[in-house]
């Protein structure tokens, strides 16, 4: 996927941003307040982030938590990263899911970070 084709390289509905990262609402949220934090630089893997990009993303994760706490008062959070297609990454631009937990799940959406192949084996 090129930068031109990438939906995260020119994001819409930016909630927060800094020089190196942005926060957007997840287009397919599993819970109200589900957001994505991502570097501005087009890279596929979280492992490619520089220390500065990691710090910028973490700054926005904390800011996002404050906003979500105020709006939804969740009982907890899942923060997760899918790296590679086999892990469930569908957009090959590194991003971090911030998912408030507790309360109602959005109908028809499966939880993020659940290994469905693992569950079928049980």
Residues 6 or more apart whose CB falls under 8 angstroms from that of 81 comprise 46, 94, 95, 96, 97
Helix (H, G, I), strand (E, B) or coil at 118: helix
Q: Residue 25 is encoded by which pair of tokens?
A: 């609402």
Residue 93 known to be catalytic: no
**Catalytic hit among 34, 93, 95, 97:** 95
In whole angstroms, how far apart are CA 40 and each of 7, 92, 93, 98? Answer: 12, 13, 9, 17
Which residues are part of the catalytic machinery?
A: 95
């Amino acid at each position: 996927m090129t930068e031109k084709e990438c939906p995260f390289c020119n994001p819409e509905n930016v909630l927060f941003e800094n020089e190196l990262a942005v926060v957007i609402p997840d287009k397919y949220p599993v819970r109200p307040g589900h957001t994505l934090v991502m570097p501005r630089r087009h890279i596929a893997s979280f492992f490619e982030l520089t220390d500065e990009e990691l710090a910028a993303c973490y700054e926005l994760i904390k800011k996002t938590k404050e906003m979500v706490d105020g709006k939804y008062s969740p009982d907890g959070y899942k923060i997760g990263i899918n790296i590679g297609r086999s892990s469930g990454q569908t957009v090959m631009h590194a991003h971090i899911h911030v998912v408030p937990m507790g309360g109602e799940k959005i109908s028809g959406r499966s939880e993020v970070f659940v290994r469905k192949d693992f569950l079928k084996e049980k």
